[in-house]
Structure 1
Amino acid sequence: MTISTQLLQRRRFLPLFVTQLLNAFNDNLYKTAMVLFVVYSVYNDEAAEGGFSAIASALFILPYFLLSALAGQLADMRDKAAIIRTVKACEILLMCIGAAGLFLAWRGIAVHELAIPLMLFALLLTGIQSTFLGPIKYAILPQHLKKDEVLAGTGLVEAGTYIAILAGTILAGWIPVEWAAAGIIATSVVGYLSARQIPAAPAMGAIEPIDRNVLRSSIRLIRDTMHDRQIFYAIIAISFFWTIGTVLFIQFPPLAKNVIMASKEVASLFLVVFSVGVAIGSVGINVLLKGRVSARFGPASVLVMGVFVVAFYAVCRLWEADQPTQLLSVSEFIAWPTATFLLLTLLGIAIAGGMFVVPLYAFLTTRVAPEKAARTIAANNIVNSGAMVAGSILAGLLNALGISLTEQVLLSAFMCLISAWLARKLFRTECEANLAEQTT
């Protein structure tokens, strides 16, 4: 029996896994239903669609930048399981707000004046919720799992997250928007019930005062965390990875509609393939590393990811040369000559990305004292979110300047080179630290 199989049978892991899975499912059911409905049913302009997608991404990410320091302090100074239960209870209310926005948009009632602002407000609240859950879902693992189970647990959480993204994305693309509105409320209730089964995870160190000044606490948190070279390079490498992911996810819906000429079901399929690939990469890297936390495969993984991004760009250019004249259904898309190559390039990007990022998250929880794990993840989230907001702004500016969506894909390929350089620096630092441990 594998470690992963054993963990899925243990109460110290399973309720957390299910709660995180349902949280990711609900977030993506809501976000994807909202973006696809607005892109396909409200706007009819490539620049407006790309701009809305960028605004939605920035609103979801912004709370990570502003509130991660507070979230990290709370997670380290309070019972992590109690925080999860509180946040999941609040999710029921915020999903009611989002459902109201979706319902109004579906009925065509005050779409621009009320429905879209309501949906974006709920998305902002969803980002706040995820900000407070983010440090916990990784920091709680070393507290509940044995040392040789942490990488497997991290991989399962990542794989489960992307399987949930897959399920939420599929549903959002295929079910009517009014069903999505009902579904997000029901899922939030089930998620709260599963959160109540998570075992207690009290603070492991001395209880320190919580600094509620978000600017001061954020600066102090980053300064206190980033002095460790391994943590520094891991955080910067993860930040570039998620910036690449942000740019790609912003591009996907409008690119699917305006370049591939595909229906919203095909746009959903793109996100599905991406999610499946990350899940495969998340589990596969654990097999390659045999449970050992290491950045050994990081540089090669992200370089391979860059190669697939360039291949994706090339296929898009070929597609533009023989572009359909109307939106394709899923069956029509699959029958198109270059569709298989397009999906394979997306799958390759995602698998390589999953193999790159999972060990880096494990770094953040295994290279620091357990009582500081949540704050380390919070510092990572602050830097990540700053980079992702910058990526959203950059994507919005490129749209405003009239640069085509296809050409914007090359930006992601260039950023993969920077990520590979950072991963190489991290691996060298890891080797130096291991050598120092062996000689002492």
Structure 2
Amino acid sequence: MTTTTHLMRSKRFLPLMATQFFNAFNDNLYKTALVLFVVYSVYNSEKHEAFFSGLASLVFILPFVLLSALAGQLADTRDKARIIRIVKLCEIGWASLGAAGLFMAWQGIAVHTFAIPLLLFVVFLAAAQSTFLGPIKYAILPQHLEKDEVLPGTGLVEAGTYIAILTGTILAGFIYVELAMVLIVVTAVAGYFVSRWVPDAPPQSDYEMHYPLLEPYAEKVRNPVLRWLGYAPVAIADQAVMSWRLVRDTMHNREIFLAIIAISFFWTIGAVLFIQFPPLAKNQLLASKEVASLFLVIFSIGIAIGSVGVNALLKGEVSARFSPASVVVMGVFVIGFYVVAKMWSPNAAGELLSVGSFLMEPLAIPLLLMLLGISTAGGFFVVPLYAFLTTRCAHDAASRTIAANNIVNSLSMVVGSLIAIGMTSIGIPVAEQLLLAAAMSIISAWLGRLLFNAERAALALA
């Protein structure tokens, strides 16, 4: 029996794997179903559609910026399995709120005044849940698995998460909203009951969460609810300071600094592109929400192809030598995608194209190949940079380095979302916004070149 087969049959691992699968599936099902429904069924203006898509992405990213440091501390100082169960129980709450918001929007009840703000609030809650589960899904593995099982276990969690994201994204584009609202609640309930089988994972550190500025206040206020209400805002501010210190302390290594900046700039571009796909599919291509979902899926598949391809080229070596050229190629494909989209001739009937009808269009395959080229080249660019984060830092600083990268990445995606919202607000058409992503690729290539030069300089001194 292989290690992988053994793990998939093990009570030490399978409940965690299933819990993470349900979580990633539900997040992507809800967010994608929400954006596609609002873009295709609520708004009838490219400007409003692009603005909402950008706003939803911005709201989804914010918890990762605000709460990542707190989530990491909780994972180190509390029983990880207990946190999982609490968070999964909370998921039933946000899923129910999300289902209520979708129902109201579907039925046309207070759509703009209440339903859409509620739906965006639930996006924030869903992202907050993922923020707290993120550090645990890796940190808990060494507690439950043998040393030789950790690597295959990590690979299985990654593969399961990737499949869950794709499944949720695809399904959101092909089911009716009334089915989606039921499915997110059912998935949340299933995820909670599975999480109850995750074995306990007590903290392995003596570190205690400490808020010195708040201790005198906390001692004076006896009511726990009032204490929390006063405690929470300052505690979150304290976490922001700690996040900044974490990032600052990580940046002393030039290779790590450049890798984090290059990765973050790449995801700024990615945020701009992801926001544009639904309104572009609807207004420029006159394609259905199923086609918009297909775009998101192809983008994810391309990143995976690029990941495998660059690993094969580098033969296990950690190097940025292909990164500058890769991101230039990505920019060329973005321009190609823009050109093909601008050449697109809407169907005479003016009806939205189904996936089958879309694929019969003469420019459909070239357009999809351009999109696949964008994401594949992106995978070639960004994947080796992630390896720098764990191979160029001290062994006892790997977790902090990854956390710092996650914080900066999230901030960059916030910037990308704000850029897209800003361009939409001043009236720049969605298709033309693609050209900004192409221009930004030049800066990414420059950052990749700086990283490769730093890599060579470090090797020369070794």
- TM score, norm. by length of structure 2: 0.83
**Alignment-derived partner of residue 329 in structure 1:** 354
Aligned AA for 1:225? T
1:415–1:72 distance in 2 versus 1, CA, 3 Å: farther
Superposition map of 1:11-410 within 5 A? 15-137=15-137, 158-196=158-196, 203=203, 206-211=206-211, 212=235, 213-319=238-344, 325-368=350-393, 372-410=397-435
The one-letter code matched in structure 1 to 2:263 is I
Is the partner of 1:325 in helix, strand or coil?
A: coil
Which AA in structure 1 matches 2:290? E
Please list the CA deviations of residues 122-163 of structure 1 after superposition, one character each: whole Å capped at 9, or x if unmatched: 00111211222333445566776869975x776665554343
Q: Could you list the per-position Cα deviations for residues 186-218 of structure 1 after superposition, in whole angstroms to 9, with x for gaps in the alignment?
A: 222333344455566655555153453123212
Is the CA contact (8 Å cut-off) linking 1:139 and 1:365 kept in structure 2? no
Alpha-carbon distance between aligned partners in 1 of 2:255 and 2:348, rounded to the nearest angstrom:
47
The TM-score normalised by the length of structure 1 is 0.87
Note the residue ranges of structure 2 that are not aligned, 5 or more in a row.
Answer: 212-234
SS at match of 1:98: helix
- Larger mean CA deviation between 202-211 and 212-221 belongs to 202-211
Report the Cα distance in structure 1 between the residues aligned to 2:243 and 2:411, rounded to whole angstroms: 12
- Superposed displacement of residue 418, structure 1: 2.0
Read off the aligned partner of 1:20 and give its amino acid letter: Q
Shift in alpha-carbon separation, 1:234–1:122, aligned structure 2, 3 A: same
Q: Which amino acid aligns with 1:424?
A: R
| Structure 1 gap ranges (5+) | none
Give the root-mean-square deviation of aligned CA atoms. Answer: 3.2
1:248, 1:409 within 8 Å by CA — same for their partners in 2? yes
| Percentage identity across paired residues of the two chains | 64
Question: Residues 255-302 of structure 1: CA distance to partner in whole angstroms, max 9, x if unpaired?
Answer: 000101101111111112112222333344444444554444433332
Work out the CA distance in 1 between the residues paired with 2:3 and 2:388: 19
Give the partner amino acid of 1:393.
L
For residues 108 and 235 of structure 1, the distance between their equivalents in structure 2, rounded to whole angstroms, comes to 44
Q: Is the 8 A contact 1:135 1:375 kept in 2?
A: no
More off after superposition, 114-123 vs 76-85: 76-85
Residue identity opposite 2:431 in structure 1 = T
CA distance in 2, matches of 1:116, 1:431: 51
Q: Per the alignment, do residues 429 and 223 of structure 1 end up closer, same or farther by CA in structure 2, a change over 3 Å counting?
A: same
1:421 aligns with 2:446: yes
SS of the residue 2:344 aligns to: helix
Change (3 A) 1:195 1:57: same
* Partner Cα distance (1:20, 1:254) in 2: 30
The Cα of 1:57 is off from its aligned counterpart by: 0.9
- The answer to whether the 8 Å contact 2:75/2:135 transfers is yes
Which residue identity lines up with residue 367 of structure 2 in the other structure? L
Opposite residue 254 of structure 1, the aligned amino acid is P
Structure 1 residue 72, shift from structure 2 partner: 2.5
Letter in 1 for 2:38: V
1:308 and 1:324 mapped to 2: Cα distance?
A: 30
Alignment length (residue pairs): 436
Q: Distance in 2 between matches of 1:12 and 1:291?
A: 30
Checking the alignment, whether the CA contact within 8 Å between 1:279 and 1:351 is kept in structure 2 is yes
Q: Which has the higher contact order (CA 8 A, sep 6+)?
A: 1
Kindly provide the amino acid, as one letter, of the partner of residue 43 in structure 1: Y
The AA in structure 2 aligned to 1:419 is: S
- Alpha-carbon offset, residue 420 of structure 1: 2.5
- Equivalent-residue separation in structure 2 for 1:310 and 1:243 (angstroms): 17
The CA deviation at 1:408 is: 0.5
Q: Contact 2:286 / 2:346 at 8 angstroms: preserved in 1? A: no
8 A Cα contact 1:261 1:324, kept in partner? no
Query: Is the CA contact 2:320–2:385 (under 8 Å) kept in the aligned structure 1?
Result: yes
Residues 162 and 279, structure 1, Cα contact 8 Å, conserved in 2: no
The range that moved more, 203-212 or 380-389, is 203-212
Please say if residues 75 and 136 of structure 1, whose CA atoms lie closer than 8 Å, have aligned partners that are also in contact: yes
- The C-alpha deviation readout for 1:19-55, integer Å capped at 9, x for no partner, is 3333222111101111111111111111111111111
Report the CA distance between 1:228 and its aligned residue.
Answer: 2.5
**Cα distance, 1:113 vs. partner?**
2.3
Partner amino acid, structure 2, of 1:191? G
Shift of 1:334: 0.7
Write the distance in 2 (CA, Å) between the matches of 1:423 and 1:147.
Answer: 34
Question: Is the deviation greater in 45-54 or in 61-70?
Answer: 61-70
The alpha carbon displacement at 1:92 in A equals: 2.0
Q: Is the 1:159–1:282 Cα contact (8 Å) retained in structure 2? A: no
Instruction: Report the CA distance between 1:167 and its aligned residue.
Output: 1.2
